[in-house]
Amino acid sequence: MEVLRPHTVWLDGRCYRVLSALAATTLTNYVEDESYGYEECVYQDEVECGGEQEEFQVEQLNNGKFQTSFPVANTYISYIIGSKGATKKRIESETYTTLRFPGKGQPGDIVVTGKDVKTVRQARLKIELLVEQARKKSPFTHFLSIPLNKPAIQEKFLEFKKEVLEKCGDCRGVDESIFQEPAKLHLTLCVMVLADERERRQALEALAKCPENVLRKYLAEEKLRVEMKGIEYMNDDPGEVDVLYGRVNALSWSHSLQTIADSLVDEFLKAGVVNKQYERVKLHVTLMNTLFRHDRDGVTDTKAGRDRESFNARQILEEFEHYQFGEMEVEEIHLSVRYTTANSGFYSASGKIPVIPSEAS
């Protein structure tokens, strides 16, 4: 492990530094269980807070013991308890604490009680790590998106689709089913699992902070104009492509679309509803995706576990490398709901924020 570049993990909006090299690979190691999904967990205790985020509170009770309470989506309670309570018992025995859960199907907090602050903190961290790993295995429910489906862009995309099928339709794996729906063209900034109303509220609160913390800071009074030009692919072999996407750039030199996208995601990281996966947001608009053969959703899980038939994109890349899809003014940023379609043809949104400066500003 590099001392100056240790492995880190984000939990509930806090960044933890993993001190042990072993911990980087064995923070949580699940064994599948028919009843609960995961039964056992191997823990590494050498974890401490990175220091950038406010730590959780542990209070002292009248009887001299210490306690912390925190909400966890009901979906994850069974993972913490484990088959026949095995995981719960292990955490309690390892940390000398007592865990109390809300009633089955009932909202409420998990309560950790122990004889000192250290063991209470250790127990809570173990639970949060367990929840985080369970969350990573869950299909995402929402994603932060910038709609790029203005009529002119849709029209150019349909022309692109038509020409690809005419010129490259005989290429292996290329067929109409793997093209994106024109009305769902978008830039995905990040994906998230929002398992209950509390987490959805947290995400909406993060979205509400974006106009002041990000858009006004980087755009000032300017509008955000972008162009979609050129195509690229996701893997190393153009003959075995799963995703083909369009490149997107801001038209103004006064601001960076990359900086804006990264800063928007940072607001959701601070809220604890997104896991940091990459250093930078990949600015791309999916045009063709082999998972669409089975799943007409516009964004898909990378860990879907389904067989997918790649396609040969060599000729497409030669013919359309610099294809011009057009320019547009970004009007909104959406917290989009997966597997939905609004009246507009785009995804339904849990929330939206405007990007165009208001007249009052």
Tell me the average pLDDT across 125-131.
Answer: 92
Which residues are registered as beta bridge partners of 15? Answer: 10
Q: What is the pLDDT of residues 226-266, one digit of tens each?
A: 999 999 998 889 999 999 999 999 998 778 999 999 999 99
Cβ contact 260:144 at 8 Å: no
- Map out the domains of the chain as residue ranges: 8-136, 142-354
Which residues are registered as beta bridge partners of 143? Answer: 191, 336
Q: Top-level CATH class of 142-354?
A: alpha beta
* Whole-number Å distance between alpha carbons of 180 and 279: 26
**Number of C-beta neighbours around residue 348 at 10 A:** 14
Tell me the average pLDDT across 262-280.
Answer: 90
Contacts of 348 (CB under 8 A, 6+ apart): 336, 337, 340, 341, 342
Percent of the chain with pLDDT over 90: 68
Q: Radius of gyration of the chain from Cα atoms?
A: 23
Residue-level pLDDT at 107 = 81
Which CATH number is associated with domain 8-136?
A: 3.30.1370.10
* Whole-number Å distance between alpha carbons of 60 and 28: 29
pLDDT at 304 over 70: no
Lowest mean pLDDT among 40-54, 85-99, 269-283: 40-54
| Residue 34 pLDDT level (bands cut at 50, 70, 90) | very low
| Residue 96 pLDDT level (bands cut at 50, 70, 90) | very high
**CA atoms within a 13 Å half-sphere pointing along the CA-CB vector of 101:** 20
Q: 117: which 2 tokens?
A: 């602050």
Q: At what angle do helices 257-270 and 197-210 cross, to 10 degrees?
A: 140
* Whole-number Å distance between alpha carbons of 116 and 125: 15
- Residue 22 gets which letter from DSSP? T
Secondary structure class of 77 (helix, strand, coil): helix
Q: What is the pLDDT of residues 307-339, one digit of tens each?
A: 789 999 999 999 999 999 999 999 999 999 999
* Whole-number Å distance between alpha carbons of 183 and 299: 13
Tell me the average pLDDT across 216-221.
Answer: 90
Residue-level pLDDT at 5 = 52
Q: Which residue has the tokens 């990175």?
A: 50
* Whole-number Å distance between alpha carbons of 84 and 26: 23
